[in-house]
Amino acid sequence: MADAPNPYPRVMLVEEVAAYLRVNKQTIYNLVKQGKLPACKIGGQWRFDREVIDAFLRSSGQGPQPGSPASTPAQAPIRKNT
């Protein structure tokens, strides 16, 4: 069975990454500043490659694994145990 198509664009803005990861925009800015989330600035706006974001999630151990039911944005939010 094939994975559902991802509705997010390949290159995303801060707002789109925040929605994709289900976090506040400030969290995205903080992760970029800390060097934890790869991004580049084009025309005064941060741009993020969705494939790099997915790899970041997989490497952090907090995100969905490829092919898992939670790998589509329509699923329940990923929650980190504190």
Domain range list for the chain: 11-67
CA distance 18 to 39: 13
pLDDT at 60: 79
Q: pTM for the complete prediction?
A: 0.66
CA distance 73 to 2: 16
- Domain 11-67 -> CATH class: mainly alpha
Using a pLDDT cut of 90, give the percent of the chain over it: 55
Which pLDDT tens digit goes with each residue over 26-53?
A: 999 999 999 999 999 999 999 999 999 9
CA distance 76 to 30: 24
Which pLDDT tens digit goes with each residue over 55-69?
A: 988 887 755 555 543
